[in-house]
Structure 1
Amino acid sequence: MFVTIGGVRHHVVAEGSGPVCLLSAGLTLGWFDWDPVVPLLTPHRTVVRFDRPGHGLSAAAVAPPSAAGEARRIAGVLDALGLDGPATVVGHSIAGFHAEAFARLHPERTASLVLVDSSVEEHARPPRAPAVRTAAARAAGHALSALGAPAALGPLARRAMVRLSRTGGGDPAPAELVRRCYTTSRVTRGALLEYASYRAVAAELLALRERYELPCGAPVTVLAATAGGRRWTARQRMLALELGARFREVTPAGHLLMLDRPDAVARAVLGEDGPGASGEGL
């Protein structure tokens, strides 16, 4: 289905029943990248997936993202579906920033928070001349589109990115969906706009941490893919300490943890510790 939020048409998928769980994927990814996780959750949860502007099947982005803006977007998706009760919010990679911002700005609507190999920026500062960065991203997007790069290279770039971000296996996404999304200029432009705004969003989130507490009584879990290396795992562990969260190393798993280990993501959402999960490993 499609809903309009902030004047932009968003693609949203909702299925299952029970308490609400919202899944938000990382940069350039679409709703279908959660496909391995969804069947593990729908017997127990109402699972909501959506594409941010310029991603998946949603319309092109009209403004650069912000942490507070993405928190409002999540709230808008839930509102559009008539889901006003507390939700478990799951953010992967850059969407970890958005999920945490939602929890801080909408504590009454947050049942729990799960960060899946989330982006981490411990000392981010607002970039200089953000308008210039945005303009450059837009110009690059238009130039690539004019050259036909999305149509020629989009699906190949997607397949390569997925292979490099997993510990094994290729891209399970259907070829038709990959072509439908990644040959479009809006996905290229949306990705460039999010990338150009990355530092600003990270710095904004650090500012939100100083002003707004995480909701009391809402569990937080940080899942770290061990393929990122020791330094990355250490940064994820420090993020968990900062947030007072449970920390789980997931192995074997690459950055696209939802594809490599959907079981670990599902257990985190459901608040379950499976075999071998009593310590830090999964």
Structure 2
Amino acid sequence: MTAAGRFVRVDGVPLHVVVEGRGPVVVLSTGLAMAWFDWDRVAAPLVAAGRTVVRFDRPGHGLSGPAAVAPSAAGEARRIAGLLDALGPPGRVGVAGHSLAGFHAEAFARLYPERTAGVVLVDASVEETPGALLPAGLRTGAARALGRALTAAGLPAALGPAARRLAVRASRAGGGDPAARDLVRRCYRTGRVWRGALLENSRYPDMAAEVAALRRTHPLPAAAPLTVLAGYDGSTRGPALRWLARQAALADLLGARFEVAAPAGHLVMLDRPDQVARAVQRA
């Protein structure tokens, strides 16, 4: 059962945050359209190992308030820093980012090296040549309009929980969605979450380009270990092997430790939570 949370206002947005345990601080940030409870299976062993675990929902995700502005990698790094300031944990922190949040975790380490103890990128997004066909403003406007239209049509309330369940099942090496049904309904029946996911997805190429630019100007902290943890379902098909190769290339680019979590789909924290927890502990 997931732990109870509270709300902390950062940059004017009420963020839902769950803090558990005692000891060195680690921050866990979910991928697109996921929620704090998707880290439940990772948080438990970390708390048992003597860590303070901070999980939060980005604007428009989970139980947090809606996004006031379009997201950016630097903005999400500042959000993590602002959340830590509000909570007041001492010293440097480890940061783990899954999927899209890998951009945010890396940006935090580059922009706040003095606050970073280590980074774990969990099946993180990789874009070797980031770019977009349409202007950012046009993509953002279209995402907002689509979100309003879907909400007005009642689709989140009618299909949100089922869509969440199907997406989780498709993103695992095996098994369904372990999240409590009441929490899934509470989050995914709301248009706020659908609008937040659409808005964040619309700025994906911009965040990829932003992180690529940060790599040229802001080095990673030398004293902070970095791990790239890639999910692999054991398939010998081309797409699975190409994804592993891209993750390995990302680790080489960042000078990171490279690990493979198998068998695991994209939601590594659900398929291999103990391996994710061990990687975070090293951070």
> What's the TM-score bracket when you normalise by the shorter of the two chains?
over 0.9
Question: 1:126 touches 1:203 (CA, 8 Å); kept in 2?
Answer: no
TM-score, normalising length from structure 1? Answer: 0.95
State the secondary structure of the residue aligned to 1:69. Answer: helix
Question: 1:10 touches 1:53 (CA, 8 Å); kept in 2?
Answer: yes
Q: Distance in 2 between matches of 1:63 and 1:46?
A: 30
Amino acid of the structure 1 residue aligned with 2:118: S
Question: 1:14 touches 1:48 (CA, 8 Å); kept in 2?
Answer: yes
Aligned counterpart, 2:108: 102
Distance apart, 1:125 and its partner CA: 2.6
Runs of 4+ residues over 4 Å off in structure 1: none
Aligned counterpart, 1:153: 159
State the secondary structure of the residue aligned to 1:118. Answer: coil
Question: 1:126 touches 1:204 (CA, 8 Å); kept in 2?
Answer: no
Amino acid of the structure 2 residue aligned with 1:36: R
Aligned counterpart, 2:41: 36
Matches within 5 A, 1:70-219: 70-125=76-131, 128-219=134-225
Distance apart, 1:85 and its partner CA: 1.5
Q: Does 1:18 align with 2:29?
A: no
State the secondary structure of the residue aligned to 1:248. Answer: strand
Gaps in structure 1 of 5+ consecutive residues: 273-282
Question: 1:127 touches 1:199 (CA, 8 Å); kept in 2?
Answer: no
Q: Distance in 2 between matches of 1:144 and 1:128?
A: 22
Amino acid of the structure 2 residue aligned with 1:262: P
Q: Distance in 2 between matches of 1:32 and 1:107?
A: 28
Q: Deviations for 1:45-73, whole angstroms, at most 9, x for unmatched residues?
A: 10000000000000011111101000000
Distance apart, 1:126 and its partner CA: 5.6
Q: Does 1:223 align with 2:229?
A: yes
Distance apart, 1:128 and its partner CA: 4.0
Q: Does 1:247 align with 2:272?
A: no
Q: Does 1:268 align with 2:279?
A: yes
Q: Deviations for 1:178-203, whole angstroms, at most 9, x for unmatched residues?
A: 00000001000000001100000100
Distance apart, 1:84 and its partner CA: 4.3
Q: Deviations for 1:212-241, whole angstroms, at most 9, x for unmatched residues?
A: 000011000000001361000000000000
Amino acid of the structure 2 residue aligned with 1:41: L
Gaps in structure 2 of 5+ consecutive residues: 1-5, 234-238
Amino acid of the structure 2 residue aligned with 1:242: L
Q: Deviations for 1:156-190, whole angstroms, at most 9, x for unmatched residues?
A: 00000000000111000000000000000100000
State the secondary structure of the residue aligned to 1:42. Answer: helix
Aligned counterpart, 1:3: 8
Aligned counterpart, 1:61: 67
Q: Distance in 2 between matches of 1:205 and 1:13?
A: 27
Amino acid of the structure 2 residue aligned with 1:196: S
Q: Distance in 1 between matches of 2:195 and 2:202?
A: 11
Amino acid of the structure 2 residue aligned with 1:190: G
Amino acid of the structure 2 residue aligned with 1:253: A
**Which residue among 42, 45, 51 is the counterpart of 1:45?**
51
TM-score, normalising length from structure 2? Answer: 0.94
Aligned counterpart, 1:280: none
Amino acid of the structure 1 residue aligned with 2:249: M
Q: Distance in 2 between matches of 1:39 and 1:233?
A: 28
Q: Deviations for 1:76-108, whole angstroms, at most 9, x for unmatched residues?
A: 111110024100000000000000000000000
Q: Percent identity?
A: 63
State the secondary structure of the residue aligned to 2:41. Answer: coil
Amino acid of the structure 2 residue aligned with 1:30: A
State the secondary structure of the residue aligned to 1:247. Answer: strand
